[in-house]
């Protein structure tokens, strides 16, 4: 099924394909996967090479072109781009508290969701490629988790790839959840140090907000409660450009003088609301630790390892430190978008039979041109793990830079420009 339309400077074709939930079992139920084809106006009939964009996540839908700017505008100079809504996201068959309610137990839900990792995403992409290109190879651009998917693509279907471009997404090929989160916590602490060094005046405000939430029942505009530890999760965005400033300006207006004394302002609560819920991307919370599992269970890795980093504990008089992209069991008790999925999350955390996502032998003999930017101070993807992976993928070229945060691709189209040149031996 396709639908065509135009926006200033671009022409789009919406594609929906049907794929098996389990690519290893063609008789399994069918789900839909959505992809938006984008081409520069005037190039609609041109014979252009394809570029598949794999969004970060897990659980993130693809970029929406409004119209083409930044990296997409650069890509459209020479590519026909497919913006893929990875299974379970966006306009693909959704996986959320509403649609997953059809399952009778958390175990059944988890059995369904085990098919939503990188290996299944890649096999969906291969169906799309054969449908759109006549079986010609295409190039892939993987941002963050999209880069993890690109490494899986190189492992299981390298014949479908002309080139691979990775931005902030070289996963540790052997790193399980514990290694990932044990490295993540110190990086998040460093980001806290950077934040409070820039805005030292926010230290007492943050502590006052935390104490107010501990002493009062504060409801967000959605009617759900904002607890102290939900407030601490605002650090999830600390690894992206401009986040420090946005949080600072929000904290500037945290309190108002109400008849009963200082109260958290509606402005502040509205600003916080969208950052402490997974309503728009529940798969992020459900699968975040599972994307690192290859054989063993995660067993709530981030939650277990937090006891090793007491800096995040808020004792009387202690400074408040924000957490990052850690997922905790209590989120499935407090976030209305996740509460119905608590049993499924428990089942996923206990699951031990995750298949491997990367083929070391195939990667060590790789023949596909691969270029990756590794952000030196990336909060989300560990630099050392990325460089270790780069050594294990034959021919992979890296560009290590401290010029950008994790979202460098979004901030500067020159990132894509340089990666393309690297795969062609021009940089």
Residues with catalytic annotation?
Answer: 144, 353, 406
Query: Before 67, cis peptide (omega within 30)?
Result: yes
CA-based radius of gyration for the chain: 22
What are the residue ranges of helices labelled H in 161-201?
177-198
Cβ-contact 175, 357 below 8 angstroms: no
Which backbone phi and psi does 172 adopt, to 5 degrees?
-70, 120
> Which residues contact residue 242 at a Cβ distance below 8 angstroms, ignoring those fewer than 6 apart?
none
Which backbone phi and psi does 2 adopt, to 5 degrees?
-135, 150
Farthest CA pair distance, the chain: 70
What are the residue ranges of helices labelled H in 68-201?
70-75, 106-113, 118-133, 145-156, 177-198
CA distance 105 to 115: 17
CA distance 354 to 114: 8
User: What three-state secondary structure class fits 351?
Assistant: coil
Find the helix or strand (DSSP H, E) in which 232 lies.
Answer: helix 228-232
Sign of CA dihedral 242, 72, 380, 21: positive
> Which has the closest alpha carbon to 248: 200, 282, 214, 314?
200
CA distance 273 to 334: 13
CA distance 13 to 220: 39
CA distance 377 to 207: 27
Cβ-contact 382, 180 below 8 angstroms: yes
Number of CB atoms found within 10 A of residue 175's CB: 19
Cβ-contact 11, 3 below 8 angstroms: no
Structure tokens belonging to residue 77: 């100079």
Sign of CA dihedral 46, 51, 52, 56: negative
Structure tokens belonging to residue 78: 């020479």
């Amino acid at each position: 099924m396709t639908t065509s339309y135009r926006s200033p400077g671009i022409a789009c074709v919406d594609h929906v394909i049907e794929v098996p939930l389990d690519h290893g079992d063609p008789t399994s139920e069918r789900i839909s996967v959505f992809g938006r084809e984008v081409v520069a106006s005037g190039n609609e009939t041109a014979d252009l090479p394809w570029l598949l964009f794999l969004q970060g996540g897990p659980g993130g839908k693809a970029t929406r072109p409004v119209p083409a700017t930044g990296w997409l505008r650069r890509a459209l100079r020479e590519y026909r781009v497919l913006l893929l809504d990875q299974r379970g996201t966006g306009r693909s068959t959704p996986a959320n508290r509403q649609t997953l309610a059809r399952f009778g137990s958390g175990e059944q839900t988890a059995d369904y969701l085990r098919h939503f990792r990188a290996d299944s995403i890649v096999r969906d992409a291969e169906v799309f490629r054969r449908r759109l290109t006549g079986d010609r190879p295409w190039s892939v651009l993987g941002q963050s988790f999209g880069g993890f998917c690109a490494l899986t693509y190189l492992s299981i279907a390298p014949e479908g790839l002309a080139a691979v471009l990775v931005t902030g997404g070289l996963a540790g090929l052997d790193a399980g959840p514990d290694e990932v989160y044990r490295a993540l916590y110190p990086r998040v602490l460093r980001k806290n140090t950077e934040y409070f060094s820039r805005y030292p005046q926010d230290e007492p405000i943050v502590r006052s907000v935390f104490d107010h939430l501990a002493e009062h029942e504060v409801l967000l505009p959605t009617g759900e409660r904002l607890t102290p530890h939900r407030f601490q999760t605002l650090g999830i965005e600390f690894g992206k450009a401009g986040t420090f400033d946005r949080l600072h300006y929000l904290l500037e207006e945290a309190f108002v003088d109400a008849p009963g004394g200082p109260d958290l302002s509606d402005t502040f609560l509205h600003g916080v609301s969208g950052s402490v819920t997974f309503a728009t991307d529940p798969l992020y919370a459900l699968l975040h630790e599972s994307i690192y599992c290859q054989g063993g269970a995660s067993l709530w890795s981030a939650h277990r390892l937090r006891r090793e980093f007491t800096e995040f504990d808020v004792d009387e008089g202690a400074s408040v430190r924000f957490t990052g992209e850690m997922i905790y069991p209590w989120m499935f008790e407090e976030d209305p978008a996740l509460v119905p999925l608590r049993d499924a999350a428990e089942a996923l955390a206990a699951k031990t039979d995750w298949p491997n996502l990367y083929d070391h032998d195939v990667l060590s003999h790789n023949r596909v041109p691969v270029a990756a930017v590794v952000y030196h101070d990336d909060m989300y993807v560990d630099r050392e793990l990325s460089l270790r992976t780069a050594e294990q993928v034959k021919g992979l070229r890296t560009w290590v830079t401290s010029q950008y945060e994790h979202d460098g691709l979004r901030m500067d189209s020159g990132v894509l420009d340089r990666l393309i040149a690297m795969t062609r031996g021009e940089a």
